[in-house]
Amino acid sequence: MKLRLSLTGALMVIALALAAVELIRFGARGSRINPGVLVIIVLLLAARYAARRQVRKRSEILKAVPRRPLGLSDEDA
């Protein structure tokens, strides 16, 4: 799962860099790729990254909770 998060982060950086290059280099003449589309891609990747981190953090918290909290067990019943 760490590879997926790293890949998403790398894709965000690449898309943001492409948006900056397209905006600076081809802004006056018109660009091949609309920088707005690249910014939208970056925002979608950022949302995916945040959601995946939240799912990962939530699963780690669930793993930390003991199976029988407060010392309760089946033998007490």
pLDDT at 17: 87
Q: What would the two tokens of residue 46 be?
A: 């950022």
CA–CA dist 77, 63 (Å, integer): 25
| pLDDT tens series, the chain, 77 aa | 567 668 888 888 888 888 888 878 776 566 677 777 888 888 888 898 899 889 989 999 988 887 776 766 666 55
26-60 as b/e: b if 16+ CB within 10 A: eeeeebeeebeebeebbeebeeebeeeeeeeeeee
pLDDT at 38: 80
> Domain locations in the chain?
2-63
**Residue entry with tokens 């699963």:** 59
Residue 63 burial (CB count, 10 A)? 7
